[in-house]
Structure 1
Amino acid sequence: SRLFELVEKNLPTEESRYSDWTAFALKWAELSSLIHCGSNAAHQTRLKDVGDALNATFSRWLSDHYSSLINLPPTDPVMLHHVPRRLARDVECSGDGRAALIVVDGLALDQWVTVRQLLHKQDNNLVMRESATFAWVPTLTSVSRQSIFSGKPPLYFPSSINSTNSEEKLWKQFWEDHGISRLDIAYQRGLGDGDASSVLDAAIHPGKTKVVGLVVDKVDKIMHGMQLGAAGMHNQIKQWCEKGFLCALVGNLLDYGYDVWLTADHGNIECVGAGRPSEGVIAETRGERVRVYPTPELRSQVADAYRFAREWQPVGLPSGYFPLIAGARDAFVSPGKSIVGHGGIAIEEVIVPLVKFERRVG
């Protein structure tokens, strides 16, 4: 109840700074995690009502301020493509530094809170320095995750905007441009199960590999099969986390002397179908929370028929890429069908965790 009061008293406005939104998102995540992991129906309704008002303000704020975030300095990364630049700066400053970046595909900030509590139980010498950063809109893996590994806005990878298959090449290119030999750069995706130390042994040479990018896609897989909403997400993420893969992965990387960072390419939100456009091949991307069109005219036609969606200005995106984003908690699926999805501009999808791990010494 106290956290509710704190949150409701400090709701950001359309005039707030980006730092007010990220600071607020961390509090909102604490509250959301508590409620999704509990079973109080009144609290759940209240969270949803506050969340709807919050996201209405956030979407207006984003329209006005999002483009101004892109070129901010990467010292404290405000957007995901700033993250590798911050790592590169740390590696350069330390002379012989090593950096590891774990990208947990689809991990929302409130789900990170649940993960953090379990990591703390599993290894109480872990220190987690938490902050939050803005994902790319539309909040799709192929858009936002590539911007992490390339260190660039999506504008710079038009040919691969709809796929994640160029990530390794983009990651290696980024670090080569920062003076690191291709042989000392590692990248591995599709992680989340099994024995973390053997996964790492296959991916890196502990004494030699200077930078490593790792994609854990377990949370995204859980999300795409989720029938039980936000509470079900927390429950399954907890079960996955209890198996210890993530804790072991972080611990091994710290043991090998890496600076270890964790982030996510986008979050997710529980939403309800409001209608599925049947447009054949017109849409290039047919997501649950976003549709992407090759021309603004095609997009407008669909927008006219689906009033719950809004035309997003293609900030930092390649030419011929026009997103139509579902508003509020709506989704482009059959009316009334409940899903957990991403692609839109809710605070739960856009503001994601950015965490630096350290070991408590002594």
Structure 2
Amino acid sequence: MSNRAYNFNAGPAALPLEVLKQAQEQFVDFNGSGMSLMEMSHRGAIYEGVHHEAEQLLRELLSIPDNYKVLFIQGGASTQFAMVPMNLLQPGKVASYVSTGSWATKAIQEAKLFGETAVAASSEADKFMRIPSFAELNVAPDSAYLHLTSNETIEGTQWAAYPDTGSVPLVADMSSDILCRPLNISQFGLIYAGAQKNLGPSGVTIVIIREDLIGTPSIPVPTMLRYSTHAKNDSLYNTPPTFAIYMTNLVLNWVKAQGGAAAVEKMNREKADLLYTAIDGSGGFYRGCAQEGSRSIMNVTFRLGSEELEKQFVKESEAQGFVGLKGHRSVGGLRASIYNAVPLSSVKALVDFMGDFQRRNG
């Protein structure tokens, strides 16, 4: 499709064109049922088949062990900021967090509503432009869990590997990089991720939780905010976001067709390498924001010599079909979000534009 934009939005983000076309074909009449999936009961056999297939695909693609539950929950990662401490923080325990940027900060603020919190490490002194090293982590032994944000979309930093936290459960917000590479799920007690960057459209959040952490909260928690509610009911306690889960199912099938998480990682690193090479090889015309070693392969953040030049870059790029390259309003600059579904051809087109823009303005 020649009129497709070069979509570098940070979220909701690009979806595979093949997935969009498949959804379009099935939209009015799903598999000969005479109905759209959006019209069906979530208790019916047809929808339940889609629902359970999505779970099985996630289990397969991420090699999720049998002692973990996969949940589909509404409310986005922002609701998980509260659900995690509401469900996991026990009396006499502390909620430990690694402070790495905007989203980690929001998670910490929410946890403070429910009990004692501690910052195990922080990169705030470096304007959140790096990920703390393992050696910097100071995890209190009485921690109920250690929470980290795997990828900070605004700053453009990402954990290259994850710490061994021993008996303290590791909790990760992977909203912006889940399934961008293989994972050792057994390292984590709980992973959560809004779907709207790598897994599907907005409206559903994936929670992968070790079964021993699904207990009775120490404080009164509304039914819908208990992990046990969703775990006992296969995420069908109430009406789930059926269309978002269906779209996630299609995206997961697409990832499988690409060759799985390892193949997707290879593609993602190729795209990121192209962009970072263009930035680093520009003689200072473009300047990467995140420190090397902490650079994200999902969100590439960079600056130009002045805000005026950055505004010109955004304006000219939009005129040529590029969408979403303006940095987050809280930090400014420029950002290219290159999630799984962003094709290599879009990144090559962006690199060509960047070269042309430098030749005309350098």
Asked whether the two chains share a fold, i.e. TM above 0.5, the reply is: no
Q: Which has the larger radius of gyration?
A: 2
Larger fraction in helix: 1
For normalisation by structure 1, the TM-score amounts to 0.33
For normalisation by structure 2, the TM-score amounts to 0.33
